[in-house]
Amino acid sequence: MSTHAKRERLLLADLLEAAGPDAPTLCEGWRTRDLAAHVVVRERRPDAAAGTVVPVPALKARLDRVQEEFAGKPYEELIQLIRTGPPRMSPFTIKQVDEGANVVEFYVHAEDVRRAQPDWSPRELDPVFADALWSRLEKSARLLGRKAPVGLVLRRPDGQTVVARRGTPVVTVSGEPGELMMFLFGRQDAAKVELDGEQEAVERLHAAKQLGI
């Protein structure tokens, strides 16, 4: 049976292929070629990918250099590398690691491609996948919401909530799990959510550029 991560991987590859190498994305400063290179480097060059999580200038410089090299490869090659997955000895080949590390990564980046187009429409997620995203939100909300300028509560349509940041005033962001994920990853303008709270607090949260990691 196909895992969520595998399904989202193939969807991302298809979207990147259909968009072509120079289409816009929601990742500031990145075209589709840059996004494809990022995904490949993350899986195939852990020595460089460390620069995405360790705030050391030398590692960031190495990451930028390696990613630029990959972005210069034929676009079709990048798409194929994404589609076929990580090399044999990579920990990403382990199903549990792949699911834990890649479900959200591939979902968000697939939406980064889709929602950068002017005619995009919300994607209806099946309930099992929506629950999987919500489970990951519950586990990562505090990390992703730690830089929010106000208290932050996330609520899905069935009434379940999770606190992303304690504090006052409080803003409650309501929406489907996938939309809440996009919001918490800093894609506020493209997320189909409703914000409830004091007007000033709502405006501060919606304008925040430091959500996500």
pLDDT exceeds 50 at position 1: no
Residue 133: inside a domain, yes or no?
A: no
Distance between CA atoms of residues 106 and 83, nearest Å: 12
- Record the tokens describing residue 154, joined without a space: 């996330």
pTM attached to this predicted model: 0.90
Residues of the chain with pLDDT > 70, as a percent, come to 92
pLDDT exceeds 80 at position 182: yes
Q: Cβ of 213: how many Cβ atoms within 10 Å? A: 13
Distance between CA atoms of residues 86 and 98, nearest Å: 10
Mean pLDDT calculated for residue range 76-98:
87
Domain residues for the domain of 27 are 4-114
Per-residue model confidence (pLDDT) at position 134: 97
Same domain, 10 and 80: yes
Same domain, 93 and 185: no
Mean pLDDT calculated for residue range 79-101:
86
- Dihedral sign, Cα of residue 85, residue 90, residue 93, residue 99: negative
Residue 119: inside a domain, yes or no?
A: no
Q: Return mean pLDDT, the chain.
A: 90
Residue 170: inside a domain, yes or no?
A: yes
Which run of H or E residues covers position 13? helix 4-19
Residue with tokens 């309930």: 127
Same domain, 156 and 193: yes
The total number of structural domains in the chain stands at: 2
Mean pLDDT calculated for residue range 33-61:
78
Report the first-to-last Cα separation within the chain, whole angstroms.
31
Per-residue model confidence (pLDDT) at position 56: 63
Domain termination site, one of 61, 80, 114: 114
